[in-house]
Structure 1
Amino acid sequence: MGDAERPLAGSKTEASHAIAPFELHRPAQQTQPFVFNSPHSGRIYPEAFLGMSRLDRRSIRRSEDHYVDELFSSVVQLGAPLLAALFPRAWLDVNREPYELDPHMFDGALPPFANIGSMRVAGGLGTIPRLVAENMDIYRGKLSVEEGLSRIEQVYRPYHACLRKTIAQTHVQFGKAILIDCHSMPANVRVAGGNRRPDFIIGDRYGASAAHDLSRAAVSFLSGLGYHVVRNKPYAGGFITEHYGRPGRGLHALQIEINRGLYVNEETLEKTSGFDLLRADLSDFAARMMAHVRDEAADQRLAAE
């Protein structure tokens, strides 16, 4: 997958010790104005965390974006970096504000700057999640405030610092940066008003996080590969898409949601026979997106001459 940068663990949380919390896979030379990010595919579960949970080892994995980092691994060979979490979403969700915290989960008072009233906190899906998919409670008891804040300071903040730096370096090098935030969704997801399950959902915060041309191209290329693709419903993009997408400044962010039924058995969590085909199609998709942006830049240069 190319050279991987692993930050030193050094965390006081139970996820530290010898395991780095994330990896940045870089090509030998970055040749594309793209950054790919897989924040929810981490599957290293600390034993101490599992001991705090009321869920078994399979149930606690229900909220993973299973193998999404592997599905997009080819982008490194295509000339773009890929940041991938190794820690699980059930332990810490970096696709949230840094302090979206549920006060009922902790045995002490949260700091006054914590956002305790967000809809995501109310739904049990804050920065430190209370639930995994299917509304299953994660913890047997309450967490210490110190433990929760330590996860944010020791893992959340370094993760976003790495992502922010990678995007900034890309922007400086190419004059633009296009973040593709990579996720998966349950196979039973439906779009309101329709009975057909989408294979992909492209989210651009209803046009606020990326240029329309990029969103349109993403939908077109995936549709051309034979997939059913919708835009923004029911997933328009989370915190990462909203936070990093500034199209007026040449910073674009698209979220891509992949139907898990295409490539994984949601009961056993094993890859199915569709995995390799999907990975090849996503490599094709990424290459087409890169060519589209390259051709568009060439057309703009010609128009300026």
Structure 2
Amino acid sequence: MTPVEVIEGEGAVILGQPHGGTWLPDTVAARLNARGRALADTDWHIGRLYDELLPGATVVRANFHRYAIDANRDPGGGSLYPGQNTTGLCPATDFDGQPIWRPGAAPGAGAVAARRDELHAPYHAALAAQVERVRARHGVAVLWDCHSIRSEIPFLFEGRLPVLNIGSDGGATCDARIEARVAAACQGSGLETVLNGRFRGGWTTRHYGRPESGVHAIQMEIAQRAYLAAEAPPWAFDAERAAPLRTLLARILTDLDHLARSGALATGAHHA
């Protein structure tokens, strides 16, 4: 299994998918406990949710599971949300705060470094290469970071998560017109929406989003009740339930692609 899959498109939008993979090296899988092997924190069917929504989109997806190493975390180990519960570069627990490794089997510094080199680094090398390719072609690149999560996880947040959670790190990672268009479309859909709430953009969005340089990044974290039959095993995709969400996402991505290709963002200026 190759750690990263890339589908090159001719458009201005890149779909980053760091958490949809379920593959684990045998040496990693053997160290997980039963809870870890359940892989409950996968962004289930995220590839299928976005499949063919935007002709010409570039896709960069990690095939490895986040329990091996999290492709949306700072490779230096810094926390995305200081002072809040979260999971790290090589998580010790699942999203419920429960251990995922067999006793004594949690990865040490050497294992973390090896996984960073073998998995995390190739994903971001591929993503960075596509960002540069798309920017060279269009003058700008729009990175849409695709995520999903269970609706209720008390360890991470109170209550039930809105369906659509848009993250731009307070507007720092993309042109204000991108943020405004995405927020307006989501709010107009009737689905519960929040901008820069509990999830305001992970490491990928914050690292690549440099609107002054023509790279605009925005994260979409979707509550899985919007497209799964149930937020529990076997995590089945519900095509009928997902249809309105897919229609909305297709409309948003098409709009962003047109905006980027129009030249309106080509100066790289960050409009506030």
TM-score when scaled to structure 1?
0.76
How many pairs were matched up? Answer: 259
Which residue is 1:271 aligned to?
Answer: 237
Among residues 34, 38, 45, which one is paired with 1:67 in the alignment? 45
Q: Sort the Cα spacing of 1:196 and 1:51 in 2 relative to 1 into closer, same or farther, 3 A.
A: closer
Alpha carbons 1:124, 1:130 under 8 Å: kept: no
Gaps of 5+ in 1: 1-18, 101-114, 301-305
Among residues 130, 134, 158, which one is paired with 1:166 in the alignment? 130
Q: Sort the Cα spacing of 1:118 and 1:271 in 2 relative to 1 into closer, same or farther, 3 A.
A: closer
Matching of residue 45 in structure 1 with residue 24 in structure 2:
yes
Deviations along 1:134-177, whole A, 9 cap, x unmatched?
11111112434332211111111111111111101111111111
Q: C-alpha distance in 2, partners of 1:26/1:88?
A: 22
Which residue is 1:81 aligned to?
Answer: 58
Secondary structure of the corresponding residue to residue 132 of structure 1: coil
Q: C-alpha distance in 1, partners of 2:100/2:192?
A: 34
Larger radius of gyration: 1
Among residues 70, 82, 91, which one is paired with 1:93 in the alignment? 70
Q: RMSD between aligned alpha carbons? A: 2.8
Secondary structure of the corresponding residue to residue 135 of structure 1: coil
Gaps of 5+ in 2: 268-272
Q: Sort the Cα spacing of 1:165 and 1:233 in 2 relative to 1 into closer, same or farther, 3 A.
A: same
Deviations along 1:194-249, whole A, 9 cap, x unmatched?
97752101110001111111011011122333322210001111111111111111
Q: Which amino acid aligns with 2:40?
A: R
Which residue is 2:89 aligned to?
Answer: 127
Q: Which amino acid aligns with 1:95?
A: N
Q: Which amino acid aligns with 2:76?
A: Y
Which residue is 2:256 aligned to?
Answer: 289
Comparing 42-51 with 86-95, which one deviates more in the overlay? 42-51
Percent identical among aligned pairs is: 26
Q: C-alpha distance in 1, partners of 2:83/2:31?
A: 20
Comparing 253-262 with 63-72, which one deviates more in the overlay? 63-72
Among residues 208, 213, 225, which one is paired with 1:244 in the alignment? 208
Q: Using CA pairs below 8 Å that are at least 6 residues apart, which structure has the higher relative contact order?
A: 2
Secondary structure of the corresponding residue to residue 43 of structure 1: coil
